[in-house]
Amino acid sequence: MQGASGEIRADGCHACGSVWTCPRCAARITEVRGLDLQSGTAAWIAPGNSVAMLTLTAPHREGEALADLWSKLKRAMDSFRGRNSVKTVLKATLGMVRAAEVLHGANGWHPHFHVLIFWRGAITQEQQDHAQQVFARAWIKSAESAGLPAPHPVIGCSLVVGTTCQERLGAYLAKWAKLPTEEERKALAARQWGAERELTKWHTKRGKGESLTPFQLLDVYATGDRFAKARAKSLFIEFSTVMRGQRQLVWSRGLKAALIKLGAVLDDRDDEIVADGAIEIESQVAEVSAEEWRWLVGFKLAPLVMDTLARLPHQSTLVPFLRDVRDRRRALYLQRHMRDPEWSFDLPTAEAV
């Protein structure tokens, strides 16, 4: 199936529903969750309220185990939320949405939290400065109590206020390692990337410097040399083991119901159901039987077939053509040549393979 975005997906297959380790499921799930946050923030801002994004992180070093860092970071977050000073500031809010994100860079694993705060009314600069100071002091104490090094009061705890999508976009651009080109800026503006996508589309971000998202580790495994492959494989296995079963997005109690009353349209389906369902108008470009699909998967041709169909959707005869390719030599031939944008899928002869 092909949607308006051009993405090709296999319909009729079971979806694992993993937002952490499956690129295809993550793309579909986070798209729906991003639309939820976009609708929620729009409904909240309309009457004159505000949203703020709080980023919480702590120092980390190369060689530290992700399991240890993640455990300490969660304890720090629990401690932070329970502090009276934080509760006092948050009395002026409707609720929060917390998102977890994990990167890996020169200083090792970098797990951190983004928190979208639904603030009642307009936030003055004085209120923002006061909240920043309270949150920073509370986060430093919470991190230290959990066994983490003391975070920087600004870098480790950053509060950004944006009442419009454009302001949130500007806040996101400020996080780039380098200034974006005019074309990149226009492309991001057209996508309306705001705080809602900062929270949900973590897997599509560009890492800063040497930082890589877990899915970029998979890309290194697919394209790197032998040493890079082995390292990327080890890191991704560590990541998937630690994050399995963890929630990527957490809404505070009662927040969804309150936003729905304001007119927000939210999707309450489980991740597995979202990953299985369609989120946009789609059209069928090719059809294969269960046996043919097993053959494509067995020869590791399924991703290449879908990528080729996305690139050349008018050549939908590709899949029926592949039904005649049943031996391993021809499959290997296709694996080598299908990545070429100019590739033509004339049936390779026995001599060619």
- Give tens-digit pLDDT for 228-279: 999 999 999 999 999 988 988 889 999 999 999 999 888 777 766 665 655 5
Distance, CA of 89 to CA of 60 (rounded, Å): 28
pLDDT given at position 213? 86
List the beta bridge partners of residue 110.
103
pLDDT given at position 345? 56
pLDDT given at position 161? 82
pLDDT given at position 253? 92
What would the two tokens of residue 309 be? 């169909």
Question: The dihedral of CA 309, 314, 315, 317: what is its sign?
Answer: positive
Distance, CA of 43 to CA of 313 (rounded, Å): 38
Is the per-residue pLDDT at 183 higher than 80?
Answer: no
Helix residue ranges per DSSP H, the chain: 23-45, 66-82, 84-89, 125-145, 165-173, 182-191, 195-200, 214-223, 226-243, 255-261, 271-276, 290-298, 302-311, 318-322, 328-337
pLDDT given at position 272? 64
Average pLDDT, the chain: 76
Q: Between 103 and 351, whose confidence is greater? A: 103
pLDDT given at position 179? 39
Residues 6+ apart with CB under 8 A from 280: 3, 4, 5
What is the mean predicted confidence (pLDDT) over 178-188? 48
pLDDT given at position 156? 93
Least confident of 197-211, 314-328, 337-351: 197-211
Domain ranges in the chain are: 2-276, 288-337
Phi, psi for 96 (deg, rounded to 5): -140, 160
List the beta bridge partners of residue 189.
none
pLDDT digits (tens, 9 = 90+) for 64-100: 999 999 999 999 999 999 999 999 999 999 999 898 8
DSSP string of 50-107, one letter each residue: EEEEEEE-----TT--HHHHHHHHHHHHHHHHH-HHHHHHGGGEEEEEEEEEEEEETT
pLDDT given at position 119? 92
pLDDT digits (tens, 9 = 90+) for 189-224: 444 434 444 454 444 454 444 688 888 888 888 788
Q: Between 291 and 348, whose confidence is greater? A: 291
Q: Between 141 and 334, whose confidence is greater? A: 141
What is the mean predicted confidence (pLDDT) over 151-157? 91
